[in-house]
Amino acid sequence: MKGDLVGEFVRAVASDEGLASSALIIARLDCPQLDPAPYLRRLDEMGAAAHARFRSAQHSGSLSRHEAVAILSSYLFEDLRLSSDPDGDDDPRNSFLNEVLDRRVGIPITLGVVYMEVARRAGIRIEGITFPGHFLLLCPGDPGEELSSASLVLDPFEAGAVLSERECREILHERLGGQVDFHPALLAPATKQQILARLLVHLKRVYVGMRSFPQAREVTRLLLAINPSASAELRDRGLLAYHLRDFPAALHDLETYLRLAPSDELDQDDREEREQIWQHVKTLRRRVASLN
């Protein structure tokens, strides 16, 4: 990965722009020569079309939240035939915004990015929710209103369906089998950085599953660029460098990980992992020394 791509990504994440510019930089991991301009124009056109539908529906006053999201969901999922890919978790194309716009299929988080970006251009505020196991959307209430009573939770994977709290609880149980207890705070809006980090973590998992270690390593570089204190990503970048036989880089990252990661109050699994990393470090020290 060229350093300028990392720099572009960091600047895009820190900017006041929406998610699309940053997501299209991520897509350059797959297509380095990708021109983002046609995709940004397409989103602009989609936003203008959605706005026109809002205006035509405003015959007797302003639209309610329910009416606005119903119109937007109908436009995206019925008129444009945007759809979910039920078997697409392991397809890297579903993590790239250009591919999702071209193929009109995606996974919850990329469908959610399209939904948020079109909504923003149409004048409707939609936030992302990094809900455990399943990315959701939030049409928030007015400032000062209670989240539970005034906001709408939407599922981009189910054509923008409005979810009740009970349905959110069911999704949590289905995805995580009771490992996480439901709490309303799980439905709080996520930051731009949190959404992009979640997209990158998913893409890294896909690449590791494909044994595409060079690509997975590039993903960790983007993750660390926006969150240098993410020790798990530092560990993963070191392990990926080890797989790629880049021993000096692996040694640097894994030694740094052991130095930064807390060593007290670890559970049994964490202690075993730390011991495994330490064994890797000792092996790497011998390998690196033999190269000198």
Convert 230-282 into a string of H (helix), E (strand) and C (coil). CHHHHHHHHHHHHHCCCHHHHHHHHHHHHHHCCCCCCCHHHHHHHHHHHHHHH
Percentage of the chain beyond pLDDT 90 is 79
Q: How far apart are CA 115 and CA 236, in angstroms?
A: 31
pTM: 0.92
Angle between the N-to-C axes of helices 247-260 and 268-291, in degrees from 0 to 180, rounded to the nearest 10 = 140
How open is the CA angle 181-184-186, to the nearest 5 degrees?
70
**Position 246 confidence tier, pLDDT thresholds 50, 70, 90:** very high
**For 42-83, what is each residue's pLDDT tens digit?**
999 999 999 999 999 887 678 889 999 999 999 999 999 999
Q: What three-state secondary structure class fits 131?
A: coil
**Position 144 confidence tier, pLDDT thresholds 50, 70, 90:** very low
The residue count of the chain comes to 292
Q: CA torsion 197→201→207→212, rounded to 10°?
A: 70
Element (H, E) at 163: strand 161-163
pLDDT at site 133? 93
Q: CA torsion 131→133→134→139, rounded to 10°?
A: 0
**For 4-56, what is each residue's pLDDT tens digit?**
899 999 999 999 999 999 999 999 999 999 999 999 999 999 999 999 999 99
Using only C-alpha atoms, the chain has a radius of gyration, in whole angstroms, of 21
Kindly report the number of other CB atoms within 10 A of residue 154's CB atom.
23
**Position 145 confidence tier, pLDDT thresholds 50, 70, 90:** very low
Instruction: Answer for the pair 96, 114: CB distance below 8 angstroms, yes or no.
Output: no
What residues contact 28, with CB distance under 8 A and at least 6 apart?
5, 34
**Position 148 confidence tier, pLDDT thresholds 50, 70, 90:** very low
Instruction: Answer for the pair 190, 127: CB distance below 8 angstroms, yes or no.
Output: yes
